[in-house]
Amino acid sequence: MIIELITAVSIVKGTIEFFNKDFYVQKDYMNHNFDCTWEYGKRTTITDPTLFKMTDPNGQDYVMWKQQCKESE
């Protein structure tokens, strides 16, 4: 029973890491090379195709958070 529980937790953790890896790799890269902050953008429509977008149940794309970066001095 313990082995099944450990296996289930490991599978869930691995799946989450697999599907979110690209986002966190890019976030860490930007934070390392630039001075970045996350700004709450409320619910705004997509104007930049490179932003991390979400889709509501009606099929509209929107952004809640936007990463603002300035070059490090």
15 band by pLDDT with thresholds 50, 70 and 90: confident
| Higher-pLDDT residue of 12, 27 | 12
pLDDT digit string, tens, across residues 36-67: 777 766 666 666 655 667 777 777 777 767 77
Element at 17 (helix H, strand E): helix 2-33
Percent with pLDDT over 70 in the chain: 74
Number of domains making up the chain: 1
Which residue segment(s) compose the domain that 9 sits in?
2-71
Query: Between vectors from CA 27 to CA 19 and to CA 55, what angle results, nearest 5°?
Result: 55
The answer, as to whether pTM is greater than 0.75, is no
Environment class of residue 39 by beta-carbon count within 10 Å: exposed (0-12), middle (13-18) or buried (19+)? exposed
Band (pLDDT 50/70/90 cuts) for residue 19 is: confident
